[in-house]
Each structure stands twice: as C-alpha cells, then as structure tokens.
Amino acid sequence: MKIAALLVVFALVGAISARAQDNPASVASAHPLTWSDVAKWPDFTGGEWTIAGSHVNTLSTGPAPLRSDLPPKPKRTGLNPCAPQGLPQFVGGEFFYSKNSMFLMTDWDYLVVRRIYMDGRIHGDPDPTYFGHSIGHWEGNTLVVDTVGLLPDVPVAGYPGNGVTHIVERYAPIDRDDINYTITIINPQILTRPWVIKKHLVRLPTLEVAEAFCDQNVRNGAGDTIDLTPPP
Amino acid sequence: MKLPSALAIALLLAAVAPQAQAHHSFGVFNTAKTVTLQGTVYRFQWTNPHSWLWLSVAQTAGPPKIWGIETGSPTMLLRRGLERETFQPGDKVSVDIHPLRDGRSGGNFIRATFPDGHSVAVIVQKEK
C-alpha cells in the first residue's frame, strides 16, 4: 500500500520534478538518498496536519510587524477566482515521503502539492510558484523547511510579496499526533523584522488529500457578481 | 492526544472555525443580517471552489422560488462534519443565511436545522 501511494505521488508530481531537473545549479549539490535513509525519518505520514482549534489550514495571524512606509493595501479585485492563496496563507496538509523529497499535499478548493527536497540541494534559481521552492533537513526530530521562489503576487499580510519572501518553517513533533509549528516570514520590503508565528498542528487521521479542481463550479464573475442560475 | 470523535470535531468546528472566502469579497453578503428560510432541498452541489445548497422556498403567491446558498469547498465542509449526503433532495430544512446585499434570492450558509432538531453549522468570517 505504501509503495502504491508513493507511485501515485510520482505520477502527480512528475511534471514538477521534470521542471526541477532543469535547474542544474540546484541539483549539483544534491546527494542521493536511499530508502534506508528515508526509513529513519520521523513518520509524519497518515492523515492531515491542521491548525488546532480551527481545523483549517488557512493561517490566521496576529498583527504583522509592518513597515510604516507601505502603500495602501491593494484590493483583491481582478484576480483569477481560482488563484491559490499560496504560502504563507496556507499551511499544513498530508505528508508523503519519496526517496529524495517529502511532499506536503492538501486540498482546499484547489490541490496543493509542495515538494520539499531533502537531498541537500540548494535553491538555485527556481521557477516562481504559489508555494515556492522548498528544501528541508532534519534537526533531530524537527523538520526544518526553507522556501523561496514565490510568485510576486503571493501576499504577506495582504501586500504582494514581490517575489522576495523567504520562509522558514519548523515542524517539531510533541508526540505522534501533535506538532509545534513555527513559521518565520522574512520580507524586508513589507516587514520591519522577521515575523514569527507559532501554531499547534494536530493530526486529523481520517482526512485524506483528495482531488480538487477549483473551476468545477465557479459562480463568481467580475466585479463580485454571483451567478444564481440553479443547476438542472 | 486522544483522537477526537467526528462529533467532537464537528462541534469544535462549529464553535470556532472561520470560513475562508478566497474567491470573492465577502462584502456581497450582508453579514449584519440573518434570514431564516424554511424550504425543501432541491439540489446540493458538493463542488469546488464552493458548494451550493439550492433550496425550494414556498411563496405566498406563485410557484416556489429556488434560493442559491453558498458554502465551503468539500474539504472545508468535511472538516466541519458535513458530507456530500448531508442534504438530500426533498429534505425539509430550516436554513439560516446571510443574504446577498443585492436582494436576489441567495446568501451565505450559516446553519441548517432538520425536523428532528439536529443541525449543521458553518461559522462565517469576513475576509480580511
């Protein structure tokens, strides 16, 4: 069963890995891992990790340490209604392990696939994406994930990140079903200092990542119009 | 940690969960106002990005009107204890909504109560 799940992962992310291999500067620093290496990783697989209390994966935060010279916050108008929120607005998910990477996947109203390279490669010059380019390593039982390469539109506290956002996440297990999660958001164009947010993640054992195609039933048009035509 | 039961999760979710509205401004709904609709389920669309409950509501004159009630994505609703089969066509149900500001027959789902008294709820929150 585990092998079957991994094969599904490979199929899902084939396109992503093919693109990443086009980045030789990044891959050159990688060192191949074996399944016995992977077997030593703390086991975060099984069920969805979600924010305790809310049971959602959208990151609610306190006030951001915003710079005082920011322009007015842009309105979210004219965006593709299916545009993902991206990192850091969206955290958690279900973990899958492969031989050189971990995958963190979740569905909200679109499917999120975050690949976290564990083979020691560097970021290089990744193609920007909504959830960025992630490299990870273990510090004891704590998973540390470093992410750059976010699209310019992906916001920090509502302001476009301009592609310079740098995110460090720490997943420190408390026990099998609880993780102390710390996310540090670094963006000197928006923030006066690194913004550290701590959350308690819990495992929802019965939730499994599932297909989610956002444009299945879009009823929101331009200018916040809503199509109220009943289905047949 | 002891794993919470589905019921406990549903209750907890109903109590504290915000609703993410990524796809349009939440301002189209009048969140200061709650309207209760008594009706019959016409269809329940378990779809992305949002699910829609279509409710047939009798009018004092003329044929029943179909109301469109927007709620969360399937995964969001699963996290709140709702399922694809929570609403079946023909179910009698009382539904609280935040109505559309433009006066049309639509709104955002708050909770639904069935004839046996049990209810399902999705608490909403304004988009920041």
Q: How far apart, in whole angstroms, are the C-alpha atoms of residue A67 and residue A124?
A: 29
**Nearest by CB to A217, which of B47, B100, B104?**
B47
Is the residue at B69 inside a domain?
yes
- CA distances (Å), origin A196, targets A61, A62, B35, B128: 10, 10, 41, 20
pLDDT band at A214 (very low <50, low <70, confident <90, very high): confident
Is the residue at B83 inside a domain?
yes
pLDDT, tens digit, for every residue of A115-150?
Answer: 999 999 999 999 999 999 999 999 999 999 999 999
Q: Is the ipTM of this structure higher than 0.85?
A: no
Contact across the interface for A228 and B106, Cβ inside 8 Å? yes
pLDDT band at B18 (very low <50, low <70, confident <90, very high): very low
Residues of B in contact with A107 (CB under 8 A): 73, 75
User: Is the predicted pLDDT of residue A10 greater than 80, yes or no?
Assistant: no
Q: Is A78 on the interface with B (CB under 8 A)?
A: no
Is the residue at B1 inside a domain?
no
Is the residue at B25 inside a domain?
yes
Is the residue at B126 inside a domain?
no
Range of B54's domain? 6-121
Q: Check residue A90 and report its DSSP letter.
A: B
- Residue A34, both tokens: 């074996």
Residue A192 phi, psi (nearest 5): -80, -20
- Mutation test of the interface with chain A: which of B1, B11, B12, B23, choosing the one with the most A Cβ atoms within 10 A? B23
Element of type H or E holding A29: none
The one-letter amino acid code at A131 reads F
pLDDT band at B7 (very low <50, low <70, confident <90, very high): very low
Better-scored residue on pLDDT, B100 or B23: B100
Whether B51 contacts B97, CB under 8 Å: no
- CA distances (Å), origin A136, targets A18, A186, B34, B56: 19, 17, 47, 52
pLDDT, tens digit, for every residue of B96-111?
Answer: 999 999 999 999 999 9
Q: Check residue A74 and report its DSSP letter.
A: P
| Paired sense of beta strands A133-139 and B65-70, if any | unpaired
**Nearest by CB to A210, which of B75, B79, B104?**
B75
Is the residue at B128 inside a domain?
no
Closest CA to A59 of A199, A222, A194: A199
Instruction: Give the domain CATH number at B97.
Output: 2.40.50.140
**Nearest by CB to A224, which of B13, B25, B78?**
B25
Q: How far apart, in whole angstroms, are the C-alpha atoms of residue A228 and residue A87?
A: 32
Q: Which of A 126-155 lie inside 8 A of B, CB atoms?
A: none
Query: What's the pLDDT at A62?
Result: 82
To the nearest whole angstrom, how far is the Cα of A107 from the nearest Cα of chain B? Answer: 7
Look up the pTM and report it. Answer: 0.80
Query: What's the pLDDT at B56?
Result: 98
Better-scored residue on pLDDT, A148 or A91: A148
Query: How many folded domains does chain B comprise?
Result: 1
Chains A, B: CB contacts within 8 A come to 112
Residues A157-166, mean pLDDT to the nearest whole number = 94
Which of A79-83, A85-89, B96-100: highest mean pLDDT?
B96-100
Residue A63 phi, psi (nearest 5): -60, 140
Extended strands (E) in chain B: 35-45, 52-57, 65-70, 92-99, 106-113, 119-121
pLDDT band at B90 (very low <50, low <70, confident <90, very high): very high
pLDDT band at A34 (very low <50, low <70, confident <90, very high): very high
Q: Check residue A25 and report its DSSP letter.
A: H
Residues of B in contact with A213 (CB under 8 A): 48
3-class DSSP state for residue A26? helix
Q: How far apart, in whole angstroms, are the C-alpha atoms of residue A87 and residue A147?
A: 9
Cα B37 → chain centroid: 11
Contact across the interface for B9 and A55, Cβ inside 8 Å? yes
Q: How far apart, in whole angstroms, are the C-alpha atoms of residue A83 and residue A164?
A: 19
Per-domain residue ranges of chain A: 2-214
Residues of B in contact with A86 (CB under 8 A): none
Q: How far apart, in whole angstroms, are the C-alpha atoms of residue A127 and residue A152?
A: 12
Q: Check residue A220 and report its DSSP letter.
A: B
